[in-house]
Amino acid sequence: MGNKTYTIYVLRLGHRIERDRRITTHVGLVSRAFGANGIYIAGEKDENVKKSLEKVVMTWGGSFHVEIGVSARKIIEEWRAKGGEIIHLTMYGLPLPNVIEKIRKSKKDKLIVVGAEKVPAWIFELADWNVSITNQPHSEVAALAVFLHELWKGKEFKFEFKNAKIRIVPSAKGKKVLKT
């Protein structure tokens, strides 16, 4: 999937089945499309989100790991213990343009934390980086996409997903799909 220099996982906080199913699925799909190796989902254990994401992997290729019902604290502590860095995306953090170069250059594996509703204070404390994608309220889905887009400097447009059953041929009009 291109010259990746680090492993990237996304940690989705506080998932609630009723409220968050679609948003968390979007977070997972963005993680995969923009080059993360997997996603940990903390909060309620939602087999449906896991199944939806795994179905996309089956059809569209690549490898992408999905783990549900994790403890956020445990994941963060393990990641830290293995020498990875914790990047928390939050509207309160330092602007992406001020920090992305340093984050890109660091060769550490990256755990990218995105919240649902209220994020507990200890996340801000434990994070190596609290990064804002503008200081306006918007969407964890958008924040994650822009962060990864900048981390890769747009290389996500060149990613190849192995063993895909479906591939799209980009076109000016209509839909061109290759099936194998």
What residues make contact with a second copy under the rule CB under 8 A?
19-20, 22-23, 26, 29-30, 32-34, 56, 60, 91-97, 121, 124-125, 127, 130, 132-139, 141-146, 149, 154, 156-157, 159, 161, 167-168, 170-177
Beta strands 85-95 and 110-114: pairing type? Answer: parallel
Q: What is the dihedral of CA 114, 115, 119, 123, to 10 degrees?
A: -20
CB of 83 to a second copy, least distance (A): 21
Looking at beta carbons only, is 71 or 120 nearer to a second copy? Answer: 120
| Sign of CA pseudo-dihedral 74, 78, 80, 84 | negative
Cβ 23 to a second copy shortest distance, Å: 6
- Nearest approach in angstroms of CB 96 to a second copy is 7
